[in-house]
């Protein structure tokens, strides 16, 4: 008598996959001449298809040899971009 069920179908259940690990993060420390320059740098990083979640961690106005600048630390995450956003080109050595 065929009941319509495949043998072992009820007993072969897959365990759910664990969630993927978070993408790797990194910090950037540097100096900027102005707040506007730092903001532009952060926006340029965020525009990259490889970088996400750019955030300012610290910013401190500093003065050295009469010049005032911002010392900053950013944190961000690397992301695998969609393959349609990446253009690959052949590298040809220049003689």
For 53-68, what is each residue's pLDDT tens digit? 999 999 999 999 999 9
pLDDT of residue 6: 56
Q: How far apart are CA 13 and CA 6, in angstroms?
A: 13
Helix (H, G, I), strand (E, B) or coil at 86: coil
pTM metric for this prediction? 0.65
Cβ contacts of residue 73 below 8 Å, gap of 6+? 27, 28, 29, 56, 57, 58, 59
Region 27-55: mean pLDDT is 95
Length of the chain in terms of residues written: 95
What distance in Å separates the CA atoms of residue 73 and residue 63, rounded to the nearest whole number?
17
């Amino acid at each position: 008598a065929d009941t319509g069920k495949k043998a072992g179908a009820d007993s072969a259940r897959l365990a759910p996959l664990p969630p993927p690990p978070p993408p790797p993060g990194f910090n950037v420390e540097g100096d900027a001449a102005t707040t506007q320059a730092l903001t532009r740098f952060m926006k340029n990083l965020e525009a990259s298809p490889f970088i996400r979640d750019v955030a300012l961690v610290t910013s401190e106005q500093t003065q050295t040899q009469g010049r005032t600048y911002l010392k900053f630390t950013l944190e961000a995450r690397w992301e695998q971009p969609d393959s349609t956003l990446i253009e690959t080109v052949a590298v040809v050595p220049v003689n």
